[in-house]
Structure 1
Amino acid sequence: MLGETARAAGYRLIVREEVGSTMEEARRALHQGEPGKLWIVARSQNAGRGRHGRQWGSPPGNLYTSLLLTDPCEPALAPQLGFVAGLALHDAAATVLGPAADRLKLKWPNDLLLGGAKTSGLLLEGESRAGRFDVILGCGVNIVSCPSDTPYPVTFLKAEAPQASVEAVLSALGEAWTKRFAVWAQPGGFGPTRAAWLERAAFLGETITIRLPEGPLNGRFAGIDPTGRLQLETDGGSRLIDAGDLFFGTPA
């Protein structure tokens, strides 16, 4: 299911029928000496999770995968890989969707939206061990179904593209990641990565709310800075946000 470009770059694939989570499978492989550039895919998960430990429903038919990268960068640069992965997700979904691709947007920091509804999410975790920094990128894509109990709109790819499948999305994702990562890995590579991400950004220039540990913060989404932090223009001045949950509009 990996394309020619990904295989030529040394990426490999393991497919499991069911796991707790692909993130934990990748971590287990790492601790067993796995050299990296490994995609792990599960047909279903019984303990999938998203950001902040949230449960991620994992019925069969959707894509559940994690990419293990050993020593890809310095720890300070690791958050940038989330933007690389977001672009790869956008590319892959666009390949599968065809004419409906113009309805795709990237929501800071880690979601893919289709028509304003979430269809995919990313999870990035790093681990320092033995003098090395490793990264696991987790990805879930709603292909044939989506949850019904979310506080935000959700959708799935087959609603727009009946031909969408796990195999098609994974193959396109592997190719897109390989190409986007190669651009990012060049000196100054976050510059074109950042520009490409902003071209696809949801809510850019609009009023948003960022949920922070200390409470919600409202302002205009002005972009992302050269390190990937969200730039928020508030009544009290400019703020740079490292992490938080983004919601469209200002709550009543």
Structure 2
Amino acid sequence: MADFEIFDTLSSTQDLGLARVKAGRSGSGWILAKEQTKGIGRHGKSWVGTKGNFMASRWEIMEVDIRQVPQLSFVVALAIYEMLRPLIPDTDQAMRIKWPNDVLHRGRKLCGIIVQTEAVDKPGHLGVVIGIGINMRAAPILEGYLTVALKEISPEAKNLDAVALLHKLNGHLDGVLDLWRNKDFSDIAKAWLKRAYGRDRLVTVTQEDMSVSGRITGLDEFGGLQIESDDRVHTVTGGDISYGDLI
């Protein structure tokens, strides 16, 4: 059973989650802030912590190989997708998961995910902190991104607060984590591909001086994006991704 810590205001749920695993706390836990002043996004970017939105981090000292940690972004995204299914009437038509870590509704960012690790003394284990931000009440203005709030697309969400959503997400995430621990990652990868943003489009990934264009065919065992181009499958682990015409 996960611990739940709820704060009215916090600088960063990620920072506190990392402090929990550094301290060697056993079990797992959630830290939720109703308002966040110094949230952390990917690549060191700030996360806008608007009051009324969902800002939480799940921490655990986890038995995991460091190479498998990127898989957790897809595990969490699938749990969020399924948690939102009863709330969003057009989930299958409109909801997509963008590689590697965003959940979109009709191409607009609804949710972001960050996974961070911390070395611990226990052999074969890592401290893992998963940060999740969901635009519940307000969609922030982000350069280069269209955004949307849950209340705009879900009549039921108007009656939910972040704490209620946390309890829903906790159950879904526990279930998908159990699948991840007990089954091959290829099963998770197949489930992700069915919901992947851009799988019906030509995509281009640019990394430094290299560029690959083609169609998304899946994920490798470490969460790298597989793109088929000129009868070859390329695996990319990072870079800027853009989406072109329908295939």
- TM-score w.r.t. structure 2 length? 0.89
Q: Relative to structure 2, which stretch is displaced further, 129-138 or 62-71?
A: 129-138
Separation in 2 of the partners of 1:243 and 1:36? Answer: 31
**Residue 220 of structure 2 corresponds to residue 225 of structure 1:** yes
Separation in 2 of the partners of 1:245 and 1:175? Answer: 33
Separation in 1 of the partners of 2:98 and 2:142? Answer: 20
2:18 and 2:127 in contact (8 A); partners too: no
Q: Where do 5+ consecutive residues of structure 1 fail to align?
A: 1-9
Change (3 A) 1:34 1:110: same
Q: Where do 5+ consecutive residues of structure 2 fail to align?
A: none
- Equivalent residue number for residue 138 of structure 1: 131
- Equivalent residue number for residue 200 of structure 1: 195
Query: How do residues 1-252 of structure 1 correspond to structure 2 at under 5 angstroms?
Result: 10-97=1-88, 99-102=89-92, 103-130=94-121, 131=123, 132-164=125-157, 165=160, 166-186=162-182, 188-214=183-209, 216-234=211-229, 237-249=232-244
Separation in 2 of the partners of 1:128 and 1:196? Answer: 30
Residue 142 of structure 1 and its aligned partner are, at CA, apart by 0.4
Paired residue secondary structure (1:185): helix
2:190 and 2:218 in contact (8 A); partners too: no
The C-alpha deviation readout for 1:180-227, integer Å capped at 9, x for no partner, is 0111111x3313211211111111142112242446543322221233
Residue 228 of structure 1 and its aligned partner are, at CA, apart by 2.0
Paired residue secondary structure (1:57): strand
The C-alpha deviation readout for 1:62-119, integer Å capped at 9, x for no partner, is 100111020231212111111110101111121322x232211111110001111110
Separation in 2 of the partners of 1:160 and 1:220? Answer: 29
Q: Which has a greater percent of strand?
A: 2
Change (3 A) 1:211 1:50: farther
2:205 and 2:211 in contact (8 A); partners too: yes
The one-letter amino acid paired with 2:33 is: A
The C-alpha deviation readout for 1:124-164, integer Å capped at 9, x for no partner, is 11122314312111110001111124212111111011331
Residue 49 of structure 1 and its aligned partner are, at CA, apart by 1.8
Separation in 2 of the partners of 1:18 and 1:203? Answer: 37
1:104 and 1:115 in contact (8 A); partners too: yes
Residue 231 of structure 1 and its aligned partner are, at CA, apart by 0.7
1:96 and 1:169 in contact (8 A); partners too: no
The one-letter amino acid paired with 1:202 is: Y
2:17 and 2:129 in contact (8 A); partners too: yes
Residue 35 of structure 1 and its aligned partner are, at CA, apart by 1.4
Give me the CA root mean square deviation. Answer: 1.9
Separation in 1 of the partners of 2:178 and 2:99? Answer: 22
The one-letter amino acid paired with 1:178 is: D
1:121 and 1:140 in contact (8 A); partners too: yes
Q: May I ask how many residue pairs the two structures share in their alignment?
A: 239
